[in-house]
Amino acid sequence: MSFTLSPLPYPFEALEPYIDAKTMEIHHDKHHGTYVAKLNAALEQAPQLHEWSLEDLLRRLSEVPEAIRQAVRNHGGGTYNHDLFWNILSPQGGGAPDGELGKFIARDFGSFDAFKEQFSQGAANLFGSGWQWLAVTPEKKLKLLALPNQDNPLSQGLVPILGLDVWEHAYYLKYQNRRTDYIAAFWNLINWKQVEKNLLKV
Ligand SMILES: [Fe+2]
């Protein structure tokens, strides 16, 4: 069994003007594609893992043979994280969540604006490359965490439901060093219905 690069759920230019088509093309076809290819290459050495789902690989990272553990962490994470990312973005995104997700956010952060502020701060303050996450704890609480590289909340026993890629490859062509402008643009694209689906699956 090997993993495949899922197609983007919309055209490259669909998220303009917030994320430009060239960035989307390189980000999906080259960066995401490379994570998938390198994950598959690493797994060739471990046939005993071929029935494991991507979630299992990240959840049970400590059981992955040491020789390929770092590769699975980086490239398995890269594969999973980008799949999640493309799906929580939408040309019809933005606004604020209602329904169950809206209630969870109000309960755990006080208000949507407080949540937005904390998430944005975390993304801005993350040093180097990584992701800002909104994840669900085993007690069904929402939790913010900023993780380096392609590390995934699954490896800490949490379930990610929303993530923002703050690697420079996600924004540099359009925003150069202005990460905070990219973070501000992100709020116009969030597909809250998908984030709520991710929450309700936990
Ligand atoms: Fe990325």
Per-residue pLDDT at 172: 98
Distance (Å) from CA 13 to ligand 1 centroid = 17
Does CATH place domain 99-201 in 3.55.40.20? yes
CA 171/CA 83 separation, integer angstroms: 17
Distance (Å) from CA 167 to ligand 1 centroid = 6
Per-residue pLDDT at 7: 97
CA 153/CA 136 separation, integer angstroms: 9
Whether the model clears a pTM of 0.85, i.e. scores above it, the answer is yes
- CATH fold, domain 20-87, is Helix Hairpins (1.10.287)
- Tokens at 15, concatenated: 């998220």
E strands, the chain, where?
130-136, 142-148, 159-165
CA 193/CA 97 separation, integer angstroms: 8
Distance (Å) from CA 28 to ligand 1 centroid = 8
Same fold, 20-87 and 99-201: no
In the predicted model, residues of the chain with pLDDT beneath 50 are: none
**Could you report the per-residue pLDDT of 182-199, keeping only the tens digit for each?**
999 999 999 999 999 999
Distance (Å) from CA 9 to ligand 1 centroid = 16
Task: Collect residues with CB below 5 Å from ion ligand 1.
Answer: 165, 167, 170
Classify residue 183 by burial, with Cβ atoms within 10 Å: 0-12, 13-18, 19+: buried
Are the beta carbons of 182 and 170 closer than 8 angstroms?
A: yes
Distance (Å) from CA 21 to ligand 1 centroid = 14
Annotated domain spans of the chain: 20-87, 99-201
**Could you report the per-residue pLDDT of 20-55, keeping only the tens digit for each?**
999 999 999 999 999 999 999 999 999 999 999 999
